[in-house]
Amino acid sequence: MRGFRDICLKGEKLMDIPLEIAFHNVEKSEAIERRIRERVARMERYFAHVNSCRVVFEAPHRSAGGARQFHLRVETRVPDKELVVSRDPGASGAHFDPLVAVRDAFDAMDRQLEAHGQKARNETKLHPAALQGRILRLFDSHGFAATNDGREIYFHRDAVPEEGFDGLSEGDALELTLVHGESPAGPQASTARPIRPMDYMPRRGRRT
């Protein structure tokens, strides 16, 4: 096709997000590139684990009046998923302005990222990660365990399944599921399940 331009800017990194920009059937524009870079750099406000982003900016056809209408496609990789926004000009004619096309597409992508982040947070609350630890101290109604990431966790006797609290001894290995927030005694486990010594993973060092 005469006048076809296909310009890719590969290997750029913005806020640690690898970015690829492609212009199809339209002249390269520094103003559009700059606006795309700005919007990609803002993505981490909505979701902190963006792996990469690819943007395709094109002018596939002209309107009946001869003006160009712009199409924008934004593909954003996050862990285990790709989020896609594909914005056609539509009947409103809003995408006669290329910067409006960029704005609308990235506004839609920001909403997707925000929704994806909220879903991930909700799933984390429903399925909190378990830790392992060994019992440091035992009292009549509760105990404290040192986890393999260097923390000290409080657990009540009711957190031990099958009324197994009375069978515990200092040094026993536990698998701990933490509750959100802290008790007056500090971080607290909602479940403290005894595990076999062979299933215990040794200390990996304190988190920073």
Q: Which of 43-47, 87-91, 148-152 has the lowest mean pLDDT?
A: 87-91
Helix (H) or strand (E) holding 74: strand 68-78
Return the higher-pLDDT residue of 137 and 91. Answer: 137
Mean pLDDT calculated for residue range 8-30: 74
pTM: 0.54
What phi and psi values does residue 132 have, to the nearest 5 degrees? -115, 155
Beta bridge partners of 132: 175
| pLDDT for position 41 | 92
Q: What is the pLDDT of residues 168-199, one digit of tens each?
A: 999 999 999 887 666 677 888 888 999 887 56
Which domains are delineated in the chain?
A: 6-125 (3.30.160.100), 130-197 (2.40.50.140)
DSSP codes joined into one string, 80-146: TEEEEEEE---TT-GGGSHHHHHHHHHHHHHHHHHHHHHHHHHHHHHSPPEEEEEEEEE-SSEEEEE
| pLDDT for position 166 | 93
